[in-house]
Structure 1
Amino acid sequence: MPEAFVKGLNDNTRSKVVDLLNARLSDVISLALASKQAHWNLRGPGFIGVHELLDEVADRLRESSDLIAERAVILGGFADGTAEIVAEKTTMKPYPLNEKDIQVHLEALRERFLDVGEKIRSAIDEAGEIGDDDTEDLFTEVSRQIDKDAWFLAANMPEPAKT
């Protein structure tokens, strides 16, 4: 493993954490790209508000992906964030193409935000079990932002009918 910029973590721990970081990096990049796909293509009531929100959401996801990628490098690994690697390694369900309905986009994004958020929370636990408290904290920060953005998206969806 290349030189690390931290002390107190052995090579085995760093290697496991870098793998974990790269796994979640693929999902966060995929989520950012899905947000932009919706941003470019959605139409319907509330368009401008959701269109602008999705730009902000994508920016926050790119910031999160930077945190994740930079942590992998700090630990002596490499950040695997190319389109080819992300397409191969993401666990996120493919995002629908050729869709314009704003509510369909919001539901598709909500579903993916919840899925990626759950995987980030699992990464929090895994980083803690591996023994890297700093990466655990990083994933906690990313998790909070993903949860908040999922809430922002859901706030633009109609309330479910009461039965």
Structure 2
Amino acid sequence: MSNLKVASFTAPGLKNDKAEQTIKFLEQRMVALIDLQLTLKHIHWNVVGANFIGVHEMLDPQVESVREMTDTIAERIATLGGVPVGTPKSVVERRTWEEYSLGKALVKDHLSALNAVYDGVNEDHRKAIDEVSELDPVSEDMLTSQLADLEQFQWFVRAHLESASGDLS
């Protein structure tokens, strides 16, 4: 990726060093969201068993929303003078977590695994918000808005796993 041209400008009022630091955090979030949208679609195709159709239909809107989040982050990176790179090889090289391991599996198994995926994505989104809060309030606001949606998606997943007493199965 070193042969990519990077703009010598950033958003007016934002110093280049702060833009560069912000871009690093945004790139991490972009990679995570690309991975999440692919994982969601993989689950959509491979979930079976009781409540199949409800879960199958729940996932497509999440895929579309996460795809929009990814696009928003990529465009923010470009706005700050960076180059958003979302090629498959670059995503795999920059990913810091294990590959989603389930293939065709029951609803409960996929949703339990997806809940763990959301744990990681949402925790890392929250950490990025903390990091960019002093660097770029626009990126902070963007990530905060995304986290609200991501947490709601996780709540949808957990609703399938939760007992009447509030415990996750």
- TM-score norm. by structure 1 comes to 0.92
**Matching residue within 19, 39, 43 for 1:34:** 39
The CA RMSD measured in Å over matched residues stands at 1.6
Who is 1:45 aligned against?
50
**Matching residue within 77, 84, 87 for 1:82:** 87
User: Residues 65-109 of structure 1: CA distance to partner in whole angstroms, max 9, x if unpaired?
Assistant: 111111000111011211111111123331014232111110111
Unpaired runs of 5+ residues, structure 1, are: none
Moved more, 92-101 or 103-112: 92-101
**Cα contact 1:124–1:136 (8 A) shared by 2:** yes
Percentage identity across paired residues of the two chains: 35
Q: Secondary structure at the match of 1:155?
A: helix
1:69 matched to 2:74 = yes
Who is 2:139 aligned against?
135
Name the CA distance, whole Å, in 2 between partners of 1:8 and 1:158. Answer: 47
**Matching residue within 130, 138, 159 for 1:155:** 159
Count of residues in Structure 1 that have an aligned counterpart in Structure 2: 161
Name the CA distance, whole Å, in 1 between partners of 2:83 and 2:168. Answer: 48
Task: Quote the offset at 1:22 in angstroms.
Answer: 0.5
**Cα contact 1:27–1:92 (8 A) shared by 2:** no
Matches within 5 A, 1:95-114: 95-114=100-119
Task: Quote the offset at 1:111 in angstroms.
Answer: 0.6
- TM-score norm. by structure 2 comes to 0.89
Name the CA distance, whole Å, in 1 between partners of 2:114 and 2:99. Answer: 11
Task: Quote the offset at 1:52 in angstroms.
Answer: 0.7
Structure 1: 4+ residue segments shifted above 3 A: none
Task: Quote the offset at 1:127 in angstroms.
Answer: 0.4
Unpaired runs of 5+ residues, structure 2, are: 1-5
